[in-house]
Amino acid sequence: MNEKTSTQLPLTEIHLLEDCCAIEEKCADIYRHFGKIFFANHDISTLWNKVASEEGHHANLFRMAISTIKPGKTDKVPCNKNIKDIMNALELIHQDVETNRPSLAAAFDLALKIENSLAEFHINSVLKFSNSKISELFLQMEKYDQGHLELLQNAIDSLRY
């Protein structure tokens, strides 16, 4: 009788998690692009590729969470507007950096804005999910965002001296 049961969530919440996965993948794409742009500086390129890899890992964490969920209860009020705004902003950033090579300072500035936006979204999302495992996932993501902010800020500070 110790069967493992799947989590049940409304479809809107499952779609929100799928959107979160897409956002993490888009961030990874942007950071990988920065890694290519700044390939001449090994340390900087490595930093961008490290952050990109971590964003890919975050997407995988969302995928794993989604794989344990099945559609359940009646949908609540959809909570996707903010996430759609974030994705649209990331799409515009990605298009812009692919057509207009940013300076290193501009790339760091963009990354800090992205990570701050994600941290705010992740912490606000904790309250939207009654399922404690999903709330914990968003708390974990917010901690990762804070780690990225610290890593990026340390890199910026090291370049100033």
- Does a structural domain hold residue 103? yes
* pLDDT tops 80 at residue 7: no
* pLDDT tops 60 at residue 3: no
- Does a structural domain hold residue 97? yes
**Residue 27 one-letter amino acid:** C
pLDDT for the residue 12: 76
pLDDT for the residue 148: 95
Question: What sign for the dihedral angle of Cα 101, 106, 112, 118?
Answer: negative
* pTM of the entire predicted model: 0.87
| 134's tokens | 């999903």
Phi/psi at 139 (5° precision): -65, -40
pLDDT for the residue 78: 47
The single residue listed with the structure tokens 């993490």 is 24
10-16-20 Cα angle (round to 5): 150
- Does a structural domain hold residue 1? no
| CA within 13 Å, CB half, 5 | 8
- Structural domain for 63, as ranges: 7-160
